[in-house]
Chain A
Amino acid sequence: MKLEILKNNLKTALNIVEKVVGKNISLPILDNVLMSAEDNLLLLTATDLETAIKYWVPCKGIKKGKAVIPVRFLSSFISLLPEEKINIEEKKQNLLVECKEYKTQIQGFNPEDFPLIPEVSDSDQLLIDNKKFCQGLSQIIDIASPSQARPEISGVYLHFSSNSLKIVATDSFRLAEKTLTIENKKECSIILPQKSAREIINTFSDKEGDLKICFSSNQTLFELSMKEFKHPQAQIFSRLIEGEYPNYQDIIPLKFKTNIIIKKEEFLNHLKTASLFSGKVSEIKLNIDPSEKVMEVFAKSPEVGESTSSLEIKASGSPVEMAFNHKFLIDGINNIKSSEVSFSVSEEEGPCILKPIGDESYLYVVMPIKTA
Chain B
Amino acid sequence: MNKIFLLTRWVKFNTVNHCYQFLSMDTKELWQSVLTQIQFDISKANFATWFQNTEIVSIKDDKAIVSVPNAFSKEWLSNKYNKLIAKILHELDDKIRDIEYIIKPQGVKKEPSIEKPNIEQLNFEEFKIDKETNLNPRYSFDGFVVGSFNELAHAAAWAVSENPGLTYNPLFIYGGVGLGKTHLLQAVGNKIALAHKKKKVRYLSSEKFITNIVNAIRNHNIDVFKNTLTQIDVLIIDDVQFLAGKNKTQEEFFHAFNALYEKNKQIILSSDRPPNAIPELEERLRSRFEGGMIADISFPDYETRLVILKNKIQEKRLNLPEDVLDYIASNVKKNIRELEGALNRLLIHSRMNGSLPNLDTAKRLLKSYVFSPFDVANYKKIIESVAKFYNLEEKDLFEVTRKKEIVKPRQIAMFLLRRELKYSFPAIARKFGGKDHTTAIYACRKMGQEFEANNRLTEEINLIKQRIYSG
Interface residue ranges, A against B (CB under 8 Å): 26-28, 47, 49, 52, 113, 115-118, 147-151, 153, 170, 172-173, 175, 217-219, 239, 241-244, 246-248, 250-251, 281, 283, 325, 349, 351, 365, 367-370, 372
* 17 CB < 8 A contacts A-B: A27-B46, A115-B72, A116-B76, A118-B71, A148-B111, A149-B110, A151-B110, A170-B124, A173-B121, A173-B122, A219-B71, A243-B108, A244-B131, A248-B127, A250-B126, A369-B121, A372-B344
Selected contact of A117 from candidates B75, B108, B129, B348, CB within 8 Å: B75
Q: Is the CB of A149 within 8 A of B113?
A: yes
CB distance from B221 to the nearest CB of A (A): 18
Other-chain contact of B127, A26, A118, A219, A251 (Cβ < 8 Å): A251
Q: How far is the CB of B124 from chain A (nearest CB, A)?
A: 5
Contact, CB under 8 Å: A173 / B124: yes
| B283 contacts the other chain (CB 8 A) | no
A217 to B103, CA, bound (A): 9
CB proximity of B283 to chain A, nearest CB, Å: 35
Q: Is residue B105 contacting chain A, with contact meaning CB distance below 8 A? A: yes
- List of B residues within 8 angstroms of A250 by Cβ: 126
Known contacts A246-B131, A370-B348; A118 and B108 CB within 8 A of each other: no
A325 to B48, CA, bound (A): 43
CB–CB B75/A148 < 8 A: no
Closest partner residue, chain B, to A217 (CB atom): B103
Contact assessment for A26 and B110 in the assembled complex, using a CB-CB cutoff below 8 Å: no
**What separation, in Å, do the CA atoms of A44 and B122 have in the docked complex?**
46
Asked if B350 is at the interface (CB within 8 A of a chain A CB), the reply is no
- Residue B345 at the chain A interface, CB threshold 8 Å: yes
Bound Cα distance A49, B344 (Å): 46
Q: Which of A118, A173, A250 has most chain B Cβ within 10 Å?
A: A118
- The answer to whether A218 touches B105, judged by C-beta atoms less than 8 angstroms apart, is yes
Q: Please tell me if the beta carbons of B131 and A247 are within 8 angstroms of each other in the complex.
A: yes
- Chain B residues within an 8 Å CB radius of A26: 45, 48-49
With a CB–CB cut-off of 8 A, which chain B residues contact A117?
A: 72, 75
Interface residues of B (CB under 8 A from A): 45-46, 48-49, 70-72, 74-76, 79-80, 103, 105, 107-114, 119-124, 126-127, 129, 131, 344-345, 348
Choice from B46, B108, B109, B122 contacting A369 with Cβ under 8 Å: B122
Q: Which of A148, A150, A248, A367 contacts B122 (CB 8 A)?
A: A367
A257 to B344, CA, bound (A): 25
**B108 touching A170 by the CB < 8 A rule?**
no
A118 and B74 in contact (CB under 8 A), knowing A26-B48, A49-B49, A281-B120? yes
A149 with B74: CB separation less than 8 A:
no
Report the Cα distance A261→B114, complex, angstroms. 38
Tell me if A47 and B131 are in contact (CB < 8 A): no
CB distance from B39 to the nearest CB of A (A): 15
Contacts of B123 in A (CB 8 A): 172-173, 367
- Distance, CA A325 to CA B122, complexed state (A): 10
Residue of B nearest to A239 (CB): B70
Q: For A246, what are the chain B residues with a Cβ–Cβ distance below 8 Å? A: 126-127, 129, 131
Q: Which residues of chain A are within 8 angstroms of B126 by Cβ–Cβ distance?
A: 246-247, 250-251
| Chain B residues in 8 Å Cβ range of A118 | 71-72, 74-75
Establish whether residues B110 and A116, one from each chain, have CB atoms under 8 Å apart when the complex forms: no
Known: A115-B72, A218-B70. A175 touches B124 (CB 8 A): yes
Nearest CB of chain B from residue A173's CB, rounded to whole Å: 5
Inter-chain pairs besides A172-B127, A251-B124, A370-B119, 7 sampled, C-beta below 8 Å: A26-B49, A52-B72, A116-B76, A150-B113, A151-B110, A172-B124, A370-B348
- Note all chain B residues with C-beta closer than 8 A to A115: 72, 75-76
Contact of B72 among A116, A173, A175, A349 (CB under 8 A): A116
User: Do B127 and A153 have beta carbons less than 8 Å apart?
Assistant: yes
- Most A Cβ at <10 Å: residue of B46, B72, B111, B345: B72
Known: A26-B48, A148-B108, A148-B111. A370 touches B122 (CB 8 A): yes
- A150: chain B residues at CB < 8 Å are 110, 113, 127
Other-chain contact of B121, A217, A241, A367 (Cβ < 8 Å): A367
What residues of B have a CB within 8 angstroms of the CB of A248 in the complex? 127
User: Shortest CB–CB separation between residue B445 and chain A, in angstroms?
Assistant: 46
In the assembly, what is the distance between CA of A172 and CA of B127, in Å?
A: 7
Q: Which residues of the other chain, B, contact A325 by a CB distance below 8 angstroms?
A: 121
Residues in chain A near residue B127, CB distance under 8 A: 150, 153, 170, 172, 246, 248, 251
